[in-house]
Chain A
Amino acid sequence: MAPDIPMFSLFFASIFTSNILLANFLGMCSFIAISKDINSSNGLGMAVVVVLTFTASINWVVLNYVLIPLDLVYLRFIIFIIVIASVVQMLEMIIDRVSQTLYLNLGIFLPLITVNCAILGVSLFMEIRQYSFLQSAVFGLGSGLGWWLAIMALAAIRKKTEKSKVSAGLQGAGLTFITIGFMAMAFIGFTGLLQVQ
């Protein structure tokens, strides 16, 4: 049965206390690669919000109305990925139509959202924690917003560090990893507020 968690707590927790990126470390590759540029980070963040909300909800429907009745839960990885891939495919077409600049800036990372661990991760959490439909949607939206928040924060910090003097060995990826580590510690500070499973 669905756990009894107030919607707002779930929403708040998925953004801050169990941030999908900084508490669960899911979706790192595009997080590091795209955060070089604020505009692209913003675009990708929004794309992740949309994809997460839709895939979490659609996957809940597929799980509860197809996989469980047919006793096919063991196929969830394949099915979830199919759902995610088609949602990303549609989103890609829409972005290409709406903003060519964003489309070109996101480049390969847009189709790669398909294999963004955060996306599959949220669907699997949804299954393990036995969320209800509404909870899944809220959890998807919250996780997406959390991912967006984290990438915007990192992009902003990187914009600053780009201009500062850094010793040669730390430039680029090295400093980014350390920054992410500090950010994760800061976010872990939130976990005392609220624990949601």
Chain B
Amino acid sequence: MDLAFLIAPMAIASLSAAFAALVSVTDKIVNNYGEAVINVNDGSKKLDVTGGANMLVTLAENQIFIPSACGGRGSCGECKVKVESDIGPHLPTEIPYLTREQIDDNVRLSCQVKIKGDVDIQIPEYLFKIKQYTGTVERIRDVTHDIKEVYFKLDEGQTVDFRAGQYGQIETPPYAKVKERTQRAYSMSSKPSDNNHVEFLVRLVPGGIVTTYVHEHLKEGEKMKIIAPFGEFYVRDTDATMICVAGGSGMAPFKSIFYDFVEKDKMEERDIWYFFGARTKKDLFYLEEMQKFQDEHERFHFVAALSEPQPEDDWQGETGLITDVLDKYLKSKISADAPKEGYLCGSPGMLDACMDVMRSNDMSDDKIYFDKFA
């Protein structure tokens, strides 16, 4: 049989194989960054790592968890790290998240920077407190039609040390069409004293990877990875009047803060105004708990407002956008002279709108606290 027709395929196959081999040899040489040393805070920690991966992941592998609300996609700008050695100019993907001063100080987004050699970095000490936990889902409860309260029990011997108001990151396994492990940030709604449990309020975001998992796949008894605590959102220890505003699952940090206050007898130490905005009555939750706080503590005031009350809601309380209600109270019921601090938790749009209202009522930006998740 004449096998000459095989010459062409053989020739193509062997040439392709030869070039593929050449490419993979190049890959081995070029993408081998070898061992590197990350020198954290002038030698307070020295990490021996393998180069090639980005700094965020490399640090996480070494139990240092830089906050990252977006999970390393370069869209939240949270994972800033000050780099003291020269690792090249800032990348176009970093610039939008950095201020002029930060660029001059060589602050970098750790999720965008590859470890290519030894590097010296500076990170705040509190980051060393952040740990990775494993927990079992002890209880899942629907608090509204689209918000679930998820209560985790941490594994034996693990306790989490956090300040009321801070957030944690939940990691979900690959499922359905999602091929990789995904992390998203949620405020912790449990009390700090309940330190072998963590609770989150998760609102279903259509198309959201982690929220869809929590709402449709997560079962009681399932194990999950949690990284905590993160964030600058906690109550400052002053006498200023607290103006708290939340919407939807933004209730979470305030639940933690108020229960913490009750436990530590702090409810009577300062005036607290808590504004909670929702669309209709079915979006409201924890009303009884908040009402109870108000009845038992003279200086605690709870104001819920519905923007679109339905006839069947039979709503007697405030109506309108939470920002309008906030504005009204700031102008009429809350003493204008008292020093005030703003605490906000909700959607980015709500945060911006509340900031505007607070500013227009003479509250200064550096006294308004929030964590912006992107």
Contact = CB atoms under 8 A, between A and B. Distances in A.
Contacts of B12: 75, 78-79, 82
A72 B7 contact: yes
Interface in B2-23: 7-8, 11-12, 15-16, 19-20, 22-23
A75 B22 CA distance: 21
B30 A104 contact: no
Given A83-B19, A86-B22, A86-B23, A105 B11 contact: no
A101 B92 contact: yes
A29 interface: no
Interface in B66-99: 88-89, 91-93
A104 to B, nearest CB: 5
Interface string A45-71: 000000000000000001000110010
Contacts of B20: 86
A58 to B, nearest CB: 9
A154 to B, nearest CB: 22
A15 B20 CA distance: 32
Interface stretch (A90-98, A123-131, A163-171): A90-98
Nearest to A74: B8
B299 interface: no
Given A72-B7, A75-B8, A90-B26, A104 B15 contact: no
Nearest to A83: B19
A135 to B, nearest CB: 23
B7 to A, nearest CB: 6
B26 A62 contact: no
B31 interface: yes
A100 B88 contact: yes
Chain A interface helix/strand/loop/mixed: helix
Contact of B30 (A83, A94, A100): A94
Contacts of A94: 26, 30
A195 interface: no
A24 interface: no
A9 interface: no
A93 B22 CA distance: 12
Interface residues of A, number: 22
A90 B23 contact: yes
Contact of A100 (B7, B8, B16, B91): B91
B11 A104 contact: no
Given A93-B27, A94-B30, A100-B114, A79 B15 contact: yes
Interface string A180-193: 00000000000000
Contacts of B91: 100-101, 104
Contact of B15 (A82, A90, A97, A100): A82
A104 B93 contact: yes
Contact of B22 (A66, A90, A100, A105): A90
Interface in A117-157: none
Contacts of A93: 26-27, 30-31
Contacts of B93: 104
A70 B7 contact: yes
Contacts of B92: 101, 104-105
B88 A66 contact: no
B12 to A, nearest CB: 6
18 contacts: A62-B15, A66-B15, A70-B8, A70-B11, A72-B7, A72-B8, A72-B11, A79-B15, A82-B12, A86-B20, A86-B22, A86-B23, A90-B26, A93-B26, A96-B30, A101-B88, A104-B93, A105-B92
Interface of A: 62, 66-67, 70, 72, 75, 78-79, 82-83, 86, 89-90, 93-94, 96-97, 99-101, 104-105
The 6 A-B pairs with the shortest beta carbon distances in the complex, nearest first, are A86-B19, A90-B26, A93-B30, A97-B30, A89-B23, A86-B23
Interface of B: 7-8, 11-12, 15-16, 19-20, 22-23, 26-27, 30-31, 88-89, 91-93, 114, 116
Given A67-B11, A93-B30, 12 more contacts: A66-B11, A79-B12, A79-B15, A82-B19, A83-B15, A86-B22, A89-B26, A90-B30, A93-B31, A96-B30, A97-B30, A100-B114
